[in-house]
Amino acid sequence: MNGMLGKRAISSLVSLLALIVLVFFLSRLTGDPAALYLPVDASEAMRENFREIHGLNDPVIVQFGRYLGDLVQLDFGESLRKARPAIDVVLEAFVWTLWLALITMTLVTVAAIIVGSVAAFHVGRPFDRFASVLSLIGASAPDFWIAIIGIVVFSVSFGWLPTSGTGTIWHWILPISVLFVRPFGLILQVVRGSMITALGSPYVKTARAKGVKNRPVIFVHTLRNAMLPVITVIGDQAAALLNGAVVVETIFGFPGVGKLMIDSILQRDFNVILAAIMVTAVAIFIMNILIDIAYALLDPRIRT
């Protein structure tokens, strides 16, 4: 198991380095920051001075080498827009995204496992058909469309919920609800299919023959053996929430790392872009390692 985790850590570091190289050079293609941060009538001397102060006059490969040297010392540079360490700006935003993803995935996981397990136990019956339609709609509906419909219905028409901000619990309802729909539909489908397969196993038939009640059959004997593919999907969807909540955060003005990345790209704040990408990537790599550990805990064969 230690060897498996070591290989995973090494591959994650290689992927992270490749990501840094790609994002660094692509971000430089967005334009000259001096054109944004200086007045329109700024002289060429002022622009040259701005570039010199921020190290933008050097060739890109020299800038990259200097950035890697600073990165080894855990120096992520300074935000051009906020004149603060870029990592501080990113971590402040990442906390909001992390809470949003954590709350959403907790609700999604509990709801999908319960509904999917009950649907599998009553396969072919009305509840199973209803759950299948619900999962299909959830997995197919785009986030931006659900967000717009939610704002039109619950904010504009009824005035029940605010459209942006994080001041109260009511500000969180729409973003969480929108992010809930797609992973719920996908995880529900996997739980249902995996549980149907597990319920047809000989050990389940033996448990039923011994008179074990339905609830222990579902949640004790069957669920653990059906969880391996479910954990994979849960991990994928959790990573997607961390990495892909950009649209929802932008629509609802949620101060997370997704919105920060969009703003930083538009404002050519290179150091913040790189810091945001790296923090998100490290979080996803850690999540993948935790999924591998969960595999080993559920299936002893993986430990060897």
* CATH number of the domain enclosing 126: 1.10.3720.10
- 146 and 8 assigned to the same domain: no
CB-side exposure of 125: number of CA atoms within 13 Å? 7
- 100 and 206 assigned to the same domain: yes
Given 72, 100, 121, which residue is the final one in a domain?
72
Whether the per-residue pLDDT at 143 is higher than 90: the answer is no
A 10 A CB-CB count for 140 gives: 11
Highest mean pLDDT among 38-47, 74-83, 195-204: 74-83
CA distance 162 to 258: 20
C-alpha 94: how far from its chain's center? 11
- Domain with 57, as residue range(s), is 2-72
Residue 81 domain flag = no
- 40 and 99 assigned to the same domain: no
Tell me which residue of 192, 182, 191, 195 sits closest to 104, measured CA to CA.
182
Alpha-carbon distances, residue 167 vs 148, 170, 253, 256, 276 (angstroms):
21, 8, 12, 14, 24
Whether the per-residue pLDDT at 11 is higher than 80: the answer is no
Identify the weakest region by mean pLDDT among 53-57, 84-88, 153-157: 53-57
DSSP secondary structure letters along 60-82: HHHHHHHHHHHHHTT---B-TTT
Residue 77 domain flag = no
Residue 189 domain flag = yes
| Residue in the structure block whose two tokens are 């729409």 | 174
Residue 263 domain flag = yes
Structure tokens at 18: 């490749």
Q: Which residues pair with 85 in a beta bridge?
A: 78
Look at residue 106 in the predicted model and tell me its pLDDT.
92
C-alpha 65: how far from its chain's center? 30
248-268 per-position pLDDT tens digit: 888 888 888 888 888 888 888
CA distance 276 to 18: 15
Look at residue 225 in the predicted model and tell me its pLDDT.
73
Look at residue 2 in the predicted model and tell me its pLDDT.
64
Identify the weakest region by mean pLDDT among 167-171, 182-186, 210-214: 210-214
Given 41, 72, 103, which residue is the final one in a domain?
72
Residue 120 domain flag = yes
- 132 and 280 assigned to the same domain: yes
18-73 per-position pLDDT tens digit: 888 888 888 887 777 877 777 777 777 888 888 888 777 878 888 888 888 888 88
Residue 78 domain flag = no
Look at residue 211 in the predicted model and tell me its pLDDT.
66
CA distance 242 to 285: 11
Whether the per-residue pLDDT at 91 is higher than 80: the answer is yes
Look at residue 194 in the predicted model and tell me its pLDDT.
85
* Helix locations, the chain, DSSP H: 2-27, 34-37, 44-53, 60-72, 86-121, 126-140, 143-150, 169-199, 202-209, 214-216, 223-244, 246-251, 257-266, 270-298, 300-303
95-140 per-position pLDDT tens digit: 888 888 899 999 999 999 889 888 888 888 888 898 888 888 888 8
- The structure's pTM equals 0.80
| Structural domains of the chain, count | 2
Given 22, 44, 72, which residue is the final one in a domain?
72
* pLDDT bracket for residue 299 (50, 70, 90): low
- 160 and 206 assigned to the same domain: yes
A 10 A CB-CB count for 13 gives: 12
CA distance 283 to 251: 24
Q: What are phi and psi of 269, to 5 degrees?
A: -90, 80
Look at residue 66 in the predicted model and tell me its pLDDT.
86
- 45 and 176 assigned to the same domain: no
CA distance 304 to 4: 9
The answer to whether the CB of 253 falls within 8 A of the CB of 175 is no
The answer to whether the CB of 197 falls within 8 A of the CB of 236 is no
- 17 and 101 assigned to the same domain: no
Residue 37 domain flag = yes
- 96 and 38 assigned to the same domain: no
Structure tokens at 258: 């997704």
- 32 and 170 assigned to the same domain: no
CA distance 118 to 134: 14
Whether the per-residue pLDDT at 189 is higher than 80: the answer is yes
